[in-house]
């Protein structure tokens, strides 16, 4: 099969890790400020009302929970 650098690979061609999806979700969650992966679920008030957020246990950065 010819490789075109301007196209994305088909899903079947993507090398998937040997980990479960739950493990991958846990690995992907880290603080954008300091990279810490110990986040605490909290609640914040936004324009859309009360939403779930994640607070970094290290630097205190709070980000909306987009999981």
pLDDT tens, position by position, 33-60 = 898 888 899 999 989 899 999 999 999 9
pLDDT score for 24 = 45
pLDDT score for 27 = 47
pLDDT tens, position by position, 3-38 = 566 666 565 566 555 655 555 444 457 888 898 888
d(CA 30, CA 10): 28
Q: Which residue has the higher pLDDT, 29 or 1?
A: 29
pLDDT score for 9 = 56
d(CA 62, CA 45): 12
Nearest alpha carbon to residue 46 among 63, 67, 29: 63
Count of alpha carbons within 13 angstroms of residue 54, beta-carbon side = 17
Angle at 22 between CA 16 and CA 28, to 5 degrees: 75
């Amino acid at each position: 099969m010819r490789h075109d650098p301007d196209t994305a690979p088909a899903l079947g061609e993507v090398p998937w890790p040997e980990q479960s999806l739950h493990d991958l979700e846990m690995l992907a969650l880290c603080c954008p400020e300091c990279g810490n992966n110990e986040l605490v679920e909290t609640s914040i008030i936004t324009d859309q009302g009360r939403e779930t957020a994640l607070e970094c246990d290290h630097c205190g950065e709070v980000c909306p929970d987009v999981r």
